[in-house]
Structure 1
Amino acid sequence: MRSVIRTGALRDGPPSTTTAPAYSGIKNIPRTYTTAQPHHSSLNSSPAFHSKAADCSPESLATLANHAEAEPPSVALPVRHGERITIADIKERRAKAGRLVAPTAAYSDADMFKGPTTGKPKAKRWDHHLTHESTLRHPCKLKQAAKHLNNPGLISLGGGLPCPEYFPISSLTLHVPAPPDFSEAATLAPGGGETLTIGKYDTTLPPPSAGDALHHPEYDLSIALNYGQGNGSAQMTRFVTEHIELLGAPPYADWGVCLTIGSTGALEQILRMLCDGPGRGDCVLTEEFSFSTALETAVPLEVTTVGVRMDSEGLVPEAMDEILSQWDSVAAPGSGGKLAGKRKPHVLYTVPSGQNPTGATQSAARRQAIYAVAQRHDVLIIEDEPYYYLQMQAPGTAPPSTVDEFLKGLVPTYLTLDVDGRVIRMDSFSKVVVPGSRMGWITASAQLVERFTRHAEMANQGPNGFSQVILHKLLDERWGHEGYFGWLMNLRMEYTKRRDVMAAACEEFLPKEVVSWAPPQAGMFQWLKVNHTIHPHASDKTILDIEEEIFNNCIARGVLVARGSWFRAEQDVAPSGLYLRATFAAATPENMREAIRRLGAAIRESFQLYGV
């Protein structure tokens, strides 16, 4: 079999084609790369594409997932049990594999890029957790047909892929900060920073000098700006797969990734995949105070959110266990109340690190305890981690000097605890690169990733090409994994400084007889507890009335904070406490201090603390 590859650098039109021997398809990296430099055969011509994407009906999925594939030879380096793979391992793996150039609409998955999983068990099956809607989803026929695009001599009249010759954008230029300092001031100064260019036909350029990977691109605008697969490009799939391996891959074999349009869109897809609204009346467990947009996502799906009590470490596992253990009696038909007749929750949505809005961070022991409760009651865990890498530098400790030190200092992700495959981790570039990218990814068992991908094919067709090619150019080609982790380490230090500025301002300006707080260990939010019981009108005003009074006083004084009631998981239940959320992410240190001063004045006015 021979496959078409593109050669030559054509500035005035699309590249010409020639033929070359195709690389035979096997499960791991060799089916994605060719060891012969500099060109790469088409991913779409791989026989593995047929086995992965042909028939993915619910019935065939069970057969496919239970079929044990023999582990093929792989260029991936072995990693001793219990050790995290290193950046050096990734670099050596890539060097042995050769250059990746995946053509337009090329199919890819994590199995093409991750290291060997020999000896690891497969994840459990979760068919009983899937909604009727999810079981009805089948692969997109047009995207399946893309596997034929690189058959030698094929003339395509089947798909609706526009000709890149008519794309009105021939190049993009980015001006970006340079590692290791990533200084904004230096980047904006004359001659500072670095300029990166992405062209329309960059992948067809002749190979540069040996080792000059930066100027030998693997992705260009002709590929990125055309239609692609619903799970995203092969180029970014490789990057995030390797990133998860560096962070700590799940202890089971058949895990995968799928690029997303950001975590909000990903959550909506996951809820539709796992939670039925009308008829079954599904409920989702979450922290008693949770991300307001996540709560609002559940409302039109008619999924009920059930709040679980929290403490300084976030969600309390004993409280979660109590809710689930007593569910059958509390929610029995005819028992009365909003939960009557609703089935026992089988999904937990949690933000474990720098929780929004409370700023709480679950310790490793807390995560293990929550996971044990999930196992006991057969609950799937949606791990939403936008702030995972914003775990603050501990006072009095030296910052990590290496990526390995940085990673070892982070609280372990639920993925590393997930012996069953019951965790769906959502990652995002929004909080750590740019929110406007609308791009992230999920990591989960192959079964759940496949079902998620089927939804993505119909709902959004995957992340936009601009974001994918820009992030690939910056994170993969220029910074690499070491540079990206360096960026995250730097970002963590900057947010630690901001957190400290707000903490000092709270100490200086807030009335401690009314307001209490604890500086967060991660994230970008300061949670403030207001003692409403000592308000002059506590006897005749509700908590919501007092909260609104403080909020209006704040607006009148020129400061905006978020009302704690916006984040209550159970909006129909009267609040028992009064809280405010302040963010230290965006305002300058000077403005942050002034904002907290105004907040303190607004609270004093409401509580009539004149002269205090």
Structure 2
Amino acid sequence: MAPTNVGGIGLVAEDVHIGGQAPEPLTLEGIRTRRAKAGKLDAPTASYSDSDMFKAPQSFKKPLAKRWDHLLSPESAARKPCVLKQAAKHLKKPGLVSLGGGLPSSGNFPFESLSMQVPSPTGGFSHTSGLKQVTIGKHDVRDGEGNGVLDLSIALNYGQSIGSAQMLRWVTEHTELVHNPPIADWRCALTIGSTGSLEAAYRMFGDRTRGDGILTEEYSFSTALETAAPLGLRVFGVPMDEQGLLPDKMDELLSNWDQEARGGARRPRVLYTVPSGQNPTGATQSEQRRREVYRVCQKHDVFIFEDEPYYFLQMQPYQKGGSAPAPSPSTTAKPNGEPSSSGGNADVEAFMRTLIPSMLSMDTDGRVMRHDSFSKVVVPGSRVGWVTGSEQVIERYIRHAECCSQGPSGFSQAVLYKLLDEEWGHDGYLRWLMHLRDEYRGRRDAILRACERFLPAEVVSWTPPAAGMFLWLKVDHTRHPHASDKSLLALEEEIFDSCIDRGVLACRGSWFRAEHDKPLSGLFFRTTYAAASEEQMAVAIERFGDAVRGSFGI
């Protein structure tokens, strides 16, 4: 059962229902109601917290996750709780004088306040008008300044590796609102970004002495591959199509695994995948595809690392030759500053319904560890994200973080809390994501129009991405005049060097191969529409097209 409210953290006692009909799924209004009933969050320096304190009652009526002792690495199994972090649980006792942990006095922090200007949902998130000045003081909570529950004296001191209670509450509510995990014992923990959490996850489930390997798409995020390599984990690629990972190919690979032929590597028990706007290919798995991949993982007892930095950048289909899309209702405002939608949060709820269900949302076993990040949808430099998984998996992650990273930056948590919780709220953040989706849809459409205009269609093809920020260009090497006497790597290098000479950078497809010892399956280049202006993208694509034409003699 969930813990009841203690000192303003979590649920109030009457919220925990025993028997009877389960409450309706969590809604935006439900979050507001439960927070009002729980009262002001009381979470001073280094407060202990966990997601069970902030989950809705219906979460505890679901089945428990499977256990994963047989997959955890010896390193992870050997990790013990940090005794100093455990001792910090006592700091909340009234009247206690601490001579224990080495938490510096906030009086010696040389920061009295932080101020920033942030855009408002009611102003259409304009960066030139409607900006609001917000300030975080050192002792706002102690002095009763405003309704805030996190100030600099708390955020900038040592804290629990799971993250501050204030930000943990927010990500727990957000996760339940969007994904509603179907197990009872799911939890969240804040991270120092998905690269850091992925490295920890590799070490939790992989061990070189056991000959462990990782499955992923045949073209995968290069940093994920480079993170696995020094840990001694072999990476094996699964063939893809325009929707990403092919479940039948994955099933075939696992069913016919030959350890000797694979250089002593055991049959992989972990899948790393980016289901939405996959990096580098831009492929997005449909709901059916995700369910099929999940079933294959159940069949072969494979654990899933679901890496989803682009999940909310799911866009409407591209209309070839169409004009730039109009902004969604969430990006405009009425004259009185209220959102233009007449249905309250109806447009936000409609947006959530358009999202392809995540693997976490269909994870009845607790075999998914989902990695979320603020990097692509707020700011990369925050270095804050969060992981969600079963209680066992998250507990093991926290044990790792306690001794390796101490958790995310206090500055970042303070700034994100002020923006996401106090200023925007859950509905405002979702409106921001709707706004951002429109921004990226416009960028995607611009680069696709440039491709239609400047690339030689007889040799270059692409699938319009349905999410994310990458466009994967396929060059038909079979039509190259030197296809018979030049390797794919040589042709790729020739085009790449020509691009650089012409003043454009497009990433070589070979950089993203899961298995570098295997021949290339084709000639590819990854481009991005994340930052360049529409005019710059047109110039860059024209230069890329010239490089291809020059190589092919077109």
SS of 1:128's equivalent in the other structure is: coil
1:493 lines up with 2:424 in the alignment: no
Q: Does 1:460 align with 2:401?
A: no
Q: Deviations over 1:243-283 (max 9, x none)?
A: 01110221110000010000000000000000011x21111
Match of 2:196 in 1: 265
- Of residues 17, 21, 31, the one that matches 1:90 is 31
Residue of 75, 99, 109 corresponding to 2:15: 75
Query: How far 1:342 sits from its partner (Å)?
Result: 1.9
2: CA distance, partners of 1:494 / 1:553: 31
Rounded to whole Å, the distance in 2 between the matches of 1:552 and 1:564 is 14
- Give the 5 Å matches for 1:44-59: none
Q: CA deviation at 1:156?
A: 1.5
Matched, 1:245 2:176: yes
Matches within 5 A, 1:322-341: 322-327=252-257, 330-332=258-260, 336=261, 339-341=262-264
How much does 1:479 deviate? Answer: 0.3
Question: Deviation string for 1:458-517 (max 9, x for gaps)?
Answer: 010000000001000000000000000000000001100000000000000000111001
Structure 1 residue aligned with 2:214: 284
Partner of 1:31: 6
Q: CA deviation at 1:32?
A: 5.4
> How many residues are paired up?
530
Query: Residue in 2 aligned with 1:114?
Result: 55
Cα distance in 2 for residues equivalent to 1:84 and 1:508? 47
Q: CA deviation at 1:155?
A: 2.1
Alpha carbons 1:554, 1:598 under 8 Å: kept: yes
SS state of the match for residue 521, structure 1?
Answer: coil
Q: Does the 8 Å contact 2:60/2:185 carry over to 1?
A: no
The alpha carbon displacement at 1:449 in A equals: 0.2
Shift of 1:601: 0.7
Cα distance in 2 for residues equivalent to 1:83 and 1:390: 27
- For residue 353 of structure 1, what is the aligned residue in structure 2? 276
For each residue in 1:524-558, what CA deviation from the matched residue of structure 2 results, as whole angstroms up to 9, or x when unmatched?
Answer: 00000001111121111100000000000000010
Matched position secondary structure for 2:231: coil
Give the letter for the 1:156 counterpart. Answer: S
Local SS of the residue matching 1:161: coil
Q: Which runs of 4+ in 1 moved over 6 A?
A: 76-82
Judge conservation of contact 1:179–1:486 (CA < 8 Å) in 2: yes
Say which of 111, 133, 137 aligns to 1:199.
Answer: 137
SS at structure 1 position matched to 2:190: strand
Q: Which residue of the other structure, out of 573, 577, 591, is the alignment partner of 2:536? A: 591
1:474-493 mapped onto 2 (5 Å cutoff): 474-493=419-438
In 2, the alpha carbon distance for the partners of 1:403 and 1:271 equals 35
Task: Note if contact 1:275-1:283 (Cα within 8 Å) is conserved in structure 2.
Answer: yes
Query: Residue in 1 aligned with 2:105?
Result: 163
Aligned residue among 76, 86, 93 for 1:151: 93
Tell me whether 1:368 sits opposite 2:368 in the alignment.
no
TM-score (norm: length of structure 2): 0.92
Contact 1:498 1:584 in 2 (8 A): yes
Q: Distance in 1 between matches of 2:466 and 2:459?
A: 23
- What SS does the corresponding residue of 1:467 show, helix, strand or coil? helix
* Residues in 1 aligned to 2:39 and 2:66: alpha-carbon distance in whole angstroms: 34
The structural deviation recorded for 1:154 is: 2.3
**Do the aligned residues in 2 keep the contact of 1:268 with 1:297 (CA within 8 Å)?**
yes
Q: Describe the shift of the 1:133–1:105 C-alpha distance in structure 2 as closer, same or farther (beyond 3 A).
A: same
Extract unaligned runs of 5+ from structure 1.
1-25, 35-42, 44-70, 208-214
Kindly provide the CA deviation profile for residues 101-157 of structure 1, in whole angstroms up to 9, marking residues without a partner as x. 310000100000001134311101100010000011001011111012232332222
CA distance, structure 2, for counterparts of residue 200 and residue 491 of structure 1: 32
CA distance in 1, matches of 2:296, 2:70: 19
Q: Would you say the 8 A contact 1:261–1:463 is kept in 2? A: yes
C-alpha displacement at 1:578, in angstroms? 0.4
* Alpha-carbon offset, residue 85 of structure 1: 1.5
Query: 2:206 — aligned with what?
Result: 275
- Greater mean alpha carbon deviation, residues 389-398 or residues 351-360: 389-398
SS at match of 2:120: coil
Q: Quote how far apart the aligned CAs of 1:185 are.
A: 4.3
Letter in 2 for 1:434: V
Bigger relative CO (Cα 8 Å, ≥ 6 apart): 2
Q: Secondary structure at the match of 1:442?
A: strand
Whether contact under 8 Å (1:180, 1:486) holds in the other structure is no
- After the TM superposition, which residues 182-581 of structure 1 pair with which residues of structure 2 at under 5 Å, given as runs? 182-187=124-129, 192-206=130-144, 215-277=146-208, 279-327=209-257, 330-332=258-260, 336=261, 339-394=262-317, 399=328, 402-581=347-526
Aligned to 1:57: none
Give the direction of change, closer, same or farther, for the CA distance of 1:185–1:271 in structure 2 (3 Å limit): closer
1:280 partner amino acid: R
Q: Partners in 1 of 2:454 and 2:134 — Cα distance?
A: 45
Distance in 2 between residues matched to 1:319 and 1:343, nearest whole Å: 18
The letter for the 2-side match of 1:243 is: H
Q: Does 1:103 align with 2:44?
A: yes
Change over 3 Å in CA distance of 1:183–1:114 after alignment to 2: closer
CA contact (8 A) 2:221 2:279 kept: yes
| Code of the aligned partner of 1:228 | G
Could you say what the CA RMSD is over the residues aligned between the two structures, in angstroms?
A: 2.0
Distance 1:261 1:311 in 2: 32
- SS of aligned partner of 1:149: helix
**Which of 536, 539, 546 matches 1:601?**
546
Deviations 1:57-104 (A, max 9, x none): xxxxxxxxxxxxxx9944379997695411000000001111013100
**1:123–1:253 contact (8 Å) kept in structure 2:** yes
Counterpart of 1:128?
Answer: 70
The answer to whether the Cα contact below 8 Å between 2:119 and 2:127 also exists between their aligned partners in 1 is no
CA distance, structure 1, for counterparts of residue 93 and residue 468 of structure 2: 49
Provide TM-score, normalisation by structure 1. 0.84
Of all paired residues, the percent bearing the same amino acid is 58
1:411-469 Cα shifts (integer Å, max 9, x gaps): 00111110000000000000000000000000000000000000000010000000001
Q: Secondary structure at 2:296's aligned position in 1?
A: helix
- After superposition, give the CA deviation of every residue in 1:215-262 in whole Å (9 maximum; x if it has no partner): 311100000000000110000000000001110221110000010000
The answer to whether the Cα contact below 8 Å between 1:284 and 1:348 also exists between their aligned partners in 2 is: yes
Distance 1:219 1:376, change over 3 A: same
Q: Does structure 2 retain, via aligned residues, the 8 Å contact 1:563–1:580?
A: yes
Q: Is the 8 A contact 1:32 1:113 kept in 2?
A: no
Describe the superposition over 1:287-335 as per-residue Cα deviations: whole angstroms up to 9, x where unpaired.
Answer: 00000000000000000010001011100000000011001xx223xxx
